[in-house]
Chain A
Amino acid sequence: MEYEVVIGLEVHTQLLTESKIFCGCSTKFGSEPNTQTCPVCLGMPGVLPVLNRKVVEFAVRLGLATHCQIRRNNRFARKNYFYPDLPKGYQISQFEEPICENGYVEIETENGKKRVGLIRIHMEEDAGKSVHDEAYVGSEETLIDLNRCGVPLLEIVSAPDIRSPHEAHAYLTKLRQLVRYLEISDGNMEEGSFRCDANISVRPVGQTTLGTRTELKNMNSFAHVQKALDYEINRQINLLKNGQQVEQNTLLWDPQKNEARPMRGKEESHDYRYFPEPDLVPVFLDAPWFDSIKSALPELPDKKFERFLSQYNLPAYDTAILTESRDLADYFEQTAKHFTDYKMISNWMLGEVARTLNEQKITINEFPLTPQRLASLLKAIDTNVISTSAAKKVFEYLLSNEVSVDEAIEKLGLKQISDESRIEAYVDQVLSEFTNEVEAYKNGKTKVIGFLVGQVMRLSKGKANPQMVSSLLRKKLEA
C-alpha cells in the first residue's frame, strides 16, 4: 500500500527588537546569565507587563508578507503552566484572537509552485533557559538563566499542507528568507532564534481523514528537520504496514543517536487554562499605525525575483541566488548602477565573490570590496585594460588592500598591452623561435595556435591582450 505523508509545522522565530516584549531589558544574545533581567521579567510580586509596540509591527510585517488577514483588534492571553524557567507561572501569548490568520507561503516543489497555508501567527514571550551542561552546574543541580525570558517571539502555525520532508525544507527556507527580508529575525536555527516543531501523520493514499499524529520537537538545524521527519515517517509507515497503530505522542529528536524518543506522559499532558490577559489592554491597530507599517514594507523575495528577471535579463538560476537575501540583491543593484553588463556582475558575484564569502565565512555586508570597486574592476576587463586572468589577481589584491582598482593594476603591473606594435614584436619573436610549430600549423595542424598564443603571453608576462595576440598570430601564419 502507498502512504501519503501529512506534515504541519510550528515555527517560533525570535524577533530582533532592542528590548524585550513586556519590559525594557535588552535582548542581546550571549551575556552573562541573569544580567538582562528586571523585576518585570523576573515575575516579582506587583509587576505589570507593558507591550513593546515594535513586536506588533514585526508581526504585522510578517502577516502582510504571508498574505494573512490582520486582526486590527487582537489580544493577549495567559498560558498557564509551572516550570522553573517560567517566572510568572504563565506565558503571555495569544490564543483566541491572534494578530494574523489565514495566510499562505508559496514554495517550489518538483511539481511546480505550491501554497502552504498558514493557520495563524501570534506574538508571545520566550521563556528562560534551564542550564545543565555548563561546568559550573553540579550534577544534582539545575540552574536557571532568565536573560531570554521575555524575548519576543512569533509563533507561525502552518496548515497540514506539507507532503514531504522536501516540502518542509522548502517551506522553512522560504519562511526564514521572509523573516530575514523583513529584518524581523535573524532566522538562525542553530542558535535557537528560529525553532521548529512538526506534527506528522501518514495515511493510505486516497484516504481523506487524517491519521494519528505525533509531535516532533528539538530539531535544531535544517539537516535535523530532514532527518527527523524521514525517521518519523518511516517509523509510522512501518507500524501501519505491520498492522500496528500510531500512538499520539510527543517525541524528542536525539541528533546524536538519530532517533526520536517519546516524552514522558506527565510532561505533555497539559491543560493550559488559557484566558485573556487582564494586565494588558487589547491591541488596537488603528489606520495610521497599520498604514505606516504597511508602507514601510520592503520589496519581498518573489517580487524582487520577478523584477530581476525582467530588469536585468538574468537567467532564473542566477536570479534565485542573487535575490536569496536582501543584502546580496542590494549589492548586485549597487554594482549595476556603475556597470551595465549585468550577466558579468552576476558571474563574478556567483563566482569570485561567493567563493571569498565562503572562504572567509563572512556575509556580503562584511565583504571588503564596495560595489563601486567591483564595478571598476569589471569595467577594466570590459575596456581591455586588464585580462580576465589578471583581474582575478587584482581582485585578490583588493581584498586586503585599501587601494583603487587603477592603483592595484598599476602596483601589480598587470596593465594589459594592447599596443599593436608591441604585441607584434612578441609575436614575431615567438614565430622565429618556434619554427616547428609554425610548420605544423601551415600543414593543417591549426590547433597548435593555442600553444603559440601561450608562448606570446609568457613572453609578455601575461599582459598582452590575448584576443589581439590570437588574431595577429593567425594573420601572420596565414599570410
Chain B
Amino acid sequence: MDIKETLNAVKQRKLSVKQRVERALKTIEDHKDLNAFTQVFAEEALEKAKILDDRLAAGKETGALAGVIMAIKDNINIKDHKTTCASKILESFISPFDATVIEKLKAADVIFIGKTNMDEFAMGSSSENSIFGAVKNPHDPERVAGGSSGGSAVAVAIGACDAALGSETGGSIRQPASFTGLVGVKPTYGRVSRYGLVAYASSLDQIGAFAKTSEDAALILKTIAGHDVHDSTSATEPVPDYDRVVGKEIKGLKIGLPEEYFAEGLDPEIRSGIMNAVRRLEKEGAKIETFSLPQTRYAIATYYIIATAEASSNLARYDGVRYGYRAQDAGDLNEMYEKTRSEGFGEEVKRRILLGTYVLSAGYYDAYYKKAMQVRRLIKDELNSAFQKYDAIVTPTTPTTAFRLGEKIDDPLTMYLMDIYTVTANLAGICAMNVPVGKNSDRLPFGLQIMAPAFKEDRLFQLGAFFEK
C-alpha cells in the first residue's frame, strides 16, 4: 500500500494505526539481523498510534500524514532521544531539540518508529563504519545496503516503515536506494532545512527521503521542504505540491545522457538496464541525446577535498568537554583531547578529519581547498549549461550493484569511487533521485539516476513515476 492509500484507509477507519505500528515493530524484530535500527521507539510509537486512533475515531482533525510511519537516520535530532551518528563519541548524547524536519513531520502527525544505522557521521558508502555493526542488505544479507544512510534504506525495504529520512553529502541516499531497490531523493541544496542534522560537510549536506514510490517521496518532501529561520542557507523558493506531477506525461521532455557516466567501470548489466529504461522514455516521446560532461572526472577528487575540509572543522566540537564521550585518565587538556578523539572516532572518520585538516593547513590551502572550490564552480557551471539544453539528465546511480560485506572496507579509494555518479549533484547543489529500474542476474536491484536543475524536484518525481508504471 502506498502512502495515499494508507492515508485513505486510516481516515476511513479501515486500518488501525495501532495495528500498523504493531506490524512495523514485528517486522523490525523479524529483521533484527539486518542491523537497520540503532533505536526503536516501540512504546512511544504505540502511544502516538493510540492517540491518533482515538482522534480519528472521534472525527477530530489530524495532520496531513496521520498514520504514516517513518524511520529517521540517526544523525537527525529528535528531542529527548539519542543522536548517536553511529559513533562512540556521541553514543550517550541526547538531543535537547528537534530538527526542523522533525518538527514538520510531528506537525503532520507522522509516527517515528526508530532511528536508523549508518556510517559513522555519514562517512562511508556501505554502512559498515558503525559502532553498532554493519547494516545488511535484505536482498542478500551477505552484502552491504549501501551508505551512508543504509539503515534508512533497509527500514523501508523490509516494510518497517512507509518512508525514511536519510541525509546526503555525496550520494548517501541515492546509492543505498539503488542497492535496495527504492526511490531515494536528494533535494536541491537549501530546499530542506539542515537545522538539527548533524553536520558532516555543511556546503554539501542535505536531508532527503527514501520511499517505495516517487509519489510517496514527493509527499514526504512536500512536508519537510521550505525556508527555515534557523538555517540561513535554506531557500525561500516556494514549495510546490510535488505529488501533483505524478502521472503527468513526459512527451517532449529533453533528456541528456552524459557519456562519462556510461564509460569504463560500469557494470554491463546495469548499463543495459538503464538503456532499456531510456528506450521507454524515447518511446513515450521524450527526446534523448548523448552529450559530454568533461569536468565529471574531477568530481570525486573535488568532493573529497571539500567534504573532508568541512568535516575536519565540523567535527572539532566533539572534544569531550561538554557532552558525549570523554576519555578517562588524561593528564592534561591536550591529552584529554587526544585520547577522547582517538578513542571516540572510528578509522574512516579519523582518516577524513586528517585529510581535511591537511588540505586547510597553511601552505596547502591554495593548492587544495581553494583549487577544489574553483573546480566545484566549473562543475556547477558545466551542469547548469547542460540544463539550458536538457530538462533532465539520466545516468546510472551506481557503477555496480551491492558489493559484499567487508569487500571494500580496507580499500578506501575503491570505496570512494562508489560515489562517482552521485557526487556531482551535491557539488553543483542541484536535485537528483534514484528510481529502481531492474535487477541483475543475482536478483540484486539497481537504479537509474535522474538529475534536474535546482528547485526542479517536480521533474524528478514526474520522471520517476513514469518508470514505476
Contacts and interface: CB of A to CB of B under 8 A. Distances in A.
Q: Do the two chains bind?
A: yes
A49 B315 CA distance: 16
A308 to B, nearest CB: 44
Nearest to A273: B360
A280 B231 CA distance: 8
A273 B357 contact: yes
A477 interface: no
A90 B323 CA distance: 17
Contact of B317 (A50, A88, A278, A280): A88
Contacts of A463: none
Nearest to B204: A278
Contacts of B309: 275
18 contacts: A39-B96, A43-B322, A45-B85, A45-B199, A46-B77, A46-B83, A50-B231, A82-B319, A84-B321, A90-B316, A144-B321, A144-B322, A271-B361, A273-B313, A274-B365, A278-B202, A278-B233, A279-B232
B53 interface: no
B310 to A, nearest CB: 6
Given A50-B230, A275-B369, A42 B322 contact: yes
A411 B315 CA distance: 74
B317 A87 contact: yes
B54 to A, nearest CB: 33
Given A90-B313, A90-B316, A48 B194 contact: yes
A316 interface: no
Nearest to A50: B232
Number of chain B interface residues as a range:
35 or more
Contacts of B315: 89
B316 A280 contact: no
Given A39-B97, A45-B77, A82-B337, 14 more contacts: A45-B83, A46-B75, A48-B232, A50-B231, A51-B232, A80-B313, A87-B321, A88-B316, A89-B313, A89-B316, A144-B322, A273-B362, A275-B365, A279-B233
A38 to B, nearest CB: 9
Nearest to B373: A276
A39 B95 CA distance: 9
B295 interface: no
A48 B97 contact: no
Number of chain A interface residues as a range:
20 to 34
B313 A46 contact: no
Nearest to B316: A89
Interface in A16-75: 39, 42-51
A48 B194 CA distance: 8
A14 to B, nearest CB: 23
A275 B307 CA distance: 13
Contacts, number: 99
Chain A binding surface, main DSSP class = loop
Contacts of A87: 317, 321-322
B58 interface: no
Contact of A46 (B195, B333, B361): B195
A82 B77 CA distance: 25
B96 A278 contact: no
A82 B334 CA distance: 9
Contacts of B229: 50
A131 interface: no
A78 interface: yes
Nearest to A146: B322
A263 interface: no
A49 B314 CA distance: 13
A76 B75 CA distance: 26
B62 interface: no
Nearest to B360: A273
A281 interface: yes
B156 interface: no
A182 to B, nearest CB: 26
Interface string B191-226: 000111111011100000000000000000000000
A242 B90 CA distance: 57
A89 B97 CA distance: 21
Given A46-B77, A48-B230, A275 B322 contact: no
B99 interface: yes
Interface string B367-385: 0010000000000000000
Contacts of B337: 82
- Among B321, B333, B362, the one with the most A-chain Cβ atoms within 10 Å of its Cβ is B321
Nearest to A276: B373
A279 B228 CA distance: 13
Given A44-B323, A46-B195, A84-B321, A281 B232 contact: yes
A264 to B, nearest CB: 12
